[in-house]
Structure 1
Amino acid sequence: MFGINFPVFTRASFGMRGSYFAVFVRGVVACIWFGTQSFQGGQCLQVMIEAIWPSFERFPNRLPESAHVTSAQLLCFFLFILVQAPLLWLKVSSLRYMFMAKTIIMPIFGLTLFIWALVAAKGFGPTFSQPTRIKDGTPAAVVFLQCVTTAIGPKATLALNMPDFTRYAKYPKQVFWTQAVGLMVLVTMCGVLGATVTSAAQVVYGVSTWNPLEVAKLWNNRAAQFFAGLCWCFAVIGTNISANSVSFSNDIALWFPKYINVRRGAYLCCILSIATTPWNIQYSAKSFSSFLGGYALFLGALVGIIITDFWICRRRSLDVRALYKKHDVHHFTAGFNIRAFFAFFCGIAPNMPGLAAACGASGVPNGARYLYSLSWLVSTLVAGLVYWVSFKIKPFEISPSQEMYMDGVEGYDPSISEIPQHTKQDKEVEA
C-alpha cells in the first residue's frame, strides 16, 4: 500500500509541477460541491425549524424571484454553515464515531422511508409503470444516458477522493469491500429509494418532486418532519466533511503548504463555497443535472489519465520515493508530463459544445447535445486512450531502480518496507 494522498499520487501522471493543475481542478469542484451540500443542509434545517415553529413558513421574503432563493432559505443556509463550522476544526479520525453512527442511522431511515412509500402508494406507484413521455422530443436512450451521467456526477468526486482515505489502510482488501458495497449497492438503493418516494408523492399528494425534503413537508406529522430533516442534515454534514472539505484541504495545502494546513483549508473551503451561490445550481432539476454533467467531464478526464497511467502504462508499479524528489523519474519535462495535459484537453474537447448548450448557448447541433449526455464516460475514455497512445509514441521511464508495489496485488514485494521520508513541505502540511 502506498500510503499517499491524491495530490502526491497525481505527481506520477501529471509530473511534480503538473500535479498542481490536477489538484486545482479537483479543488474547485470540491469547493463548489461543499456549497451545494451546505445549501441542501440548509433546506434540511428549514424543515426542522418549520416542524418546531410552523409560523416560520410565513417568514417574509425580501428577495426577487430572479435570485432563485428566498430569505428563509438563505437564512437557513448560513445557519447550517455555522452549525457545521465547529466540526471542521476536528480531524477526520476524531469524527470516526459520527461516521459510524451515520452508517447505522441512515440505512434505517432510508428503509423506513422506503416502506412508507410502498405502503402509502400501495406499491411502487405510477413512476415504474407509466410510459415514457419526453416533451422536447429527445430520444429516450439519450435521456437515459443523461440520467446515468447525473448519477455518476457526485461519485466522480468520490472516485478521486479515495486515495485521501485509503492511504490509512494496511491492505487493499480492507477498503475493497467497503467501496464495492458503498458505491455499488448503497448508491443503487438510494436511487431506487428516490424514485419510489417520488412515485409515492404522486399517488398520495398529487405532487411530482425530485426533492425528498419537499415530500417530508407534505406529511401531517410534525415530529416525522423534524426527524426526517435531522437525519438528512446529519448525513449532509458527514458527507460535506469527508468528501469535500478534506479533499479541498489536501489540494490547497499543496499549493500553499507554508500557510495552509488541513484545518485552515477546511474553513477556507467553507468561506469560498458561499461565493459559488449554490442556490443557482439547485433551483431546478435541470440546472442541477447540468451542473453535475458539467463538472463530471473534467473529473472524468483526470480519472482516465490516472487509471491509464497506473494500471496500463506503469502496470501497477510506482516508485514512491521518486514522488518526493524534484529531479527524478516523475519530473518529466520541467516538472510537467505533457502527455497528461494533451490527453486532458483532448478528453474534454468533444463535450465542450454540449456543455455550451447546457449553459444556454443556441445553435449547437443535436449530435453534440446527445454526446454530452455521456460526458463523464466520453472524457474518461478519450483522455485515457490519448494518454496511452502518447505513451506508446514517446514512452517515459517506468522502471525505477527500486519499485514499490501495492500490497495485496500480484507482484508485491513485502521485503520493501522502507517508507519514504517526508519533506519539510509535507510536514508543514500535516501540522
Structure 2
Amino acid sequence: MQLTNPSPSLHNEDLAPATERKWGAFSIFNVWTSDVHSLWGYYLAASLFLLCGSFLNFVIAIGAGSLVIFVLMSMVGNAGVRTGVPFPVLARASFGTFGANAPALVRAIVACFWYGAQTSAASGAIVALLIRSPGMLEFHQTSQMLGHSTLEVICFFVVWCLQLLIIQSGMETVRKFQDWAGPAVWIAMLMLAIYLVIKAGTFSFGAEIPQDVLLKATADAGVPGVPGSPAALAAVAATWITYFAALYLNFCDFSRYATSESALRKGNLWGLPINLLAFCLVAGITTTAAFTVYGEVLLHPEQISAKFDSWFLAALAALTFAVATLGINVVANFVSPAFDFANVFPRHISFKRGGYIAAGIALILYPWAPWETGAAHFVNFIGSTMGPIFGIMMVDYYLIRHGKLDVNALYQENGEFRFEGGWHIKAFVALAIGMVFSSILPTFTTILPAWWGTYGWFFGVGIGGAVYYVLRMGAK
C-alpha cells in the first residue's frame, strides 16, 4: 500500500509494507524446513519422539502439538499477509508507536544469543568432521585462541561469514537459500535414516531402550513423567508448541512477502503439521536405529556421524546439519533482530545494518560462549515474556480490531497508535502480569506446582491476553 507522509522516526524502506510479494507456498514451506531441521531441532524432536513410548502416542502428542502450531502460525501469518508489515511494526498497534520497541528488543536480545549458539553448533558439526583426520585432531588439541581451539575459532568465523553472504542481497536471497536448502536437508536426512535402519536390521520406535537410560539421555528436554503416560504426552505436546515461541511473534516478517493467504495456508499446512510429524518420525527412527547399532542413545546428530566408518557419510551428515542450522539461524535469529534494530532507529539502521549488528553481537559473545553456561537460563527467562507479548498482540488484532488495521497509522507519530506519548500503558500492565505467571513465579519461587513451568508460555499467552482484553474493553 502507499503510505501518506510517514514519520521518519517510524519508517524506512525496509520497515514499510511489503510491495514485492514472491513467496509462494513452496517458499513458506521451506521457512519451516529451515526453522526445524537444525542440530537443536533434531535433538528436541528425537527426545520427544522417544518419550512418547509408542507410534500411536507419537502421532497423538506431536500431531496435536503440530496442529496447534499450525493454527497459531496461521493467525500471525495472516496478519502479515494482510498488513504487509514486519513484527515490530505490527506490535505498534498494541504497544504504541514507540512502546513497540520494548517487545522488539526482547526478541532481538534472545535472537542475538541464539544466533551465536546456532552458529557455534553448525561450526561444531564441521569440527567433528575435520578432527577425524589425525593432523587436524592434533591441531585441535594443541592450538588455542580466544578460549577455544584455533580450529573451532576458524570454523565459527567461516560459518559466521557464510550467513552474512546469504542475507547480503536481502530477503529475496533468504528465500532462494531456503528453497534450495530445505529439500537438500530432507534428502540427506532420509539417506542417513535408511543407512542406519539397514545397518540395524530392524525398524522400531524406541521401545527397546531401557527406561532409565532413556530418561537420563532426555533429561534436558524438560518432559516430566513416565514415557508414554498421559502426563508425559501432554508435556511433549506443550514443549513442542513452546519451542516455536519466538517464531509466533515474527513469522509475519516472512508471511508479509507471501503472494496470498491461500499460498500461506498451503505452505503452513505442508511445512507444519505434515513436515513436523515427518521430521520427528525420521529423527526418532534414526536415533533408535543408532541405539541398536552403537548401543548408545545418541540424540545429537554429530554424535552419530562421529561413529560412521565412511568419510562420505560423515561428511554428508556434518554438512547436512551445518546447512540446516544456518537455515534456522537466518530465519529465526537474523531476520528478526535485523527488523527489530531497524525499528528502534529507522533513520539510521536499515534491515541489512540491523542484521550486521545482530551478527556482530554474536561474534563479540563468542569468546565467552555464554550459550554453554548458565546464561542460557537467563535468556530463556527473558524469552518467556514472548508468551504474554503474543497473547496481547493477537487479542488486539483479532478480538479488539477484528482483523482490521489502519496500516498507514502505524507509521504516524501522532496518529491512532500514539496512546500515552507513544506507549500503550494497558499493554505493558498486561505484559507485566503475564510475565509474573509465565516466568517470574515459576522461576524464582515454589508457590506454583512443579509442572507449571512446562506450560508457562501458555499461561503467559492466556493471562497476558485476557488482562489486556479486560483493560481495553473496560475503557469503553
Q: TM-score, normalised by structure 1?
A: 0.79
Work out whether 1:355 is the aligned partner of 2:435.
no
The answer (yes or no) to whether the contact 2:434–2:463 under 8 Å persists in 1 is yes
- What letter corresponds to residue 105 of structure 1 in structure 2? A
Deviation at 1:257, TM superposition (A): 1.8
Per the alignment, residue 235 of structure 1 pairs with 324
The equivalences for 1:114-129 within 5 A come to 114-125=193-204, 127-129=206-208
Per the alignment, residue 4 of structure 2 pairs with none
182, 189, 200: which one aligns with 1:110: 189
Work out whether 1:86 is the aligned partner of 2:165.
yes
Work out whether 1:6 is the aligned partner of 2:6.
no
SS at match of 2:384: helix
- What letter corresponds to residue 421 of structure 2 in structure 1? A
RMSD of equivalent CA atoms:
3.0
Per the alignment, residue 65 of structure 2 pairs with none
Distance in 1 between residues matched to 2:431 and 2:175, nearest whole Å:
36
Work out whether 1:344 is the aligned partner of 2:431.
yes
41, 57, 68: which one aligns with 2:137: 57
398, 404, 407: which one aligns with 1:320: 407
Distance in 2 between residues matched to 1:54 and 1:295, nearest whole Å:
43
Deviation at 1:274, TM superposition (A): 3.0
The equivalences for 1:4-403 within 5 A come to 4-50=85-131, 53-58=133-138, 59-60=140-141, 72-125=151-204, 127-130=206-209, 132-133=211-212, 139-140=225-226, 147-277=236-366, 279-282=369-372, 294-350=381-437, 351-356=439-444, 364-365=445-446, 367-395=448-476
SS at match of 2:84: coil
Cα-to-partner distance string for 1:58-105 (whole Å, 9 max, x where unaligned): 3215779xx7x6554344223321333333322120343322111221
The answer (yes or no) to whether the contact 1:249–1:266 under 8 Å persists in 2 is yes
| Residues 178/128 of structure 1: CA separation in 2 closer, same or farther (3 Å cut) | farther
| Residues 295/70 of structure 1: CA separation in 2 closer, same or farther (3 Å cut) | farther
Distance in 2 between residues matched to 1:383 and 1:26, nearest whole Å:
17
What percentage of residue pairs aligned between the two structures are identical?
24
Farther off after superposition, 190-199 or 321-330: 190-199
Farther off after superposition, 203-212 or 94-103: 94-103
Deviation at 1:291, TM superposition (A): 7.3
Distance in 1 between residues matched to 2:379 and 2:317, nearest whole Å:
25
| Residues 95/333 of structure 1: CA separation in 2 closer, same or farther (3 Å cut) | closer
Deviation at 1:4, TM superposition (A): 1.2
Farther off after superposition, 119-128 or 309-318: 119-128
Distance in 2 between residues matched to 1:18 and 1:249, nearest whole Å:
18
SS at match of 1:248: helix
SS at match of 1:80: helix
Deviation at 1:196, TM superposition (A): 2.4
| Residues 128/154 of structure 1: CA separation in 2 closer, same or farther (3 Å cut) | same
Distance in 2 between residues matched to 1:8 and 1:138, nearest whole Å:
38
| Residues 385/75 of structure 1: CA separation in 2 closer, same or farther (3 Å cut) | same
Distance in 2 between residues matched to 1:279 and 1:142, nearest whole Å:
35
| Residues 289/32 of structure 1: CA separation in 2 closer, same or farther (3 Å cut) | closer
Farther off after superposition, 36-45 or 347-356: 347-356
The answer (yes or no) to whether the contact 2:290–2:297 under 8 Å persists in 1 is yes
Runs (5+) with no aligned partner, structure 1: 357-363, 396-431
Per the alignment, residue 399 of structure 1 pairs with none
Runs (5+) with no aligned partner, structure 2: 1-81
Higher normalized contact order (CA 8 Å, seq sep 6+, divided by chain length)? 2
- What letter corresponds to residue 201 of structure 1 in structure 2? A
Deviation at 1:334, TM superposition (A): 1.8
Deviation at 1:219, TM superposition (A): 0.5
Distance in 1 between residues matched to 2:156 and 2:342, nearest whole Å:
27
Q: Number of matched residues?
A: 381
Cα-to-partner distance string for 1:274-321 (whole Å, 9 max, x where unaligned): 3445854357xxx79957854552211111111111111111111112
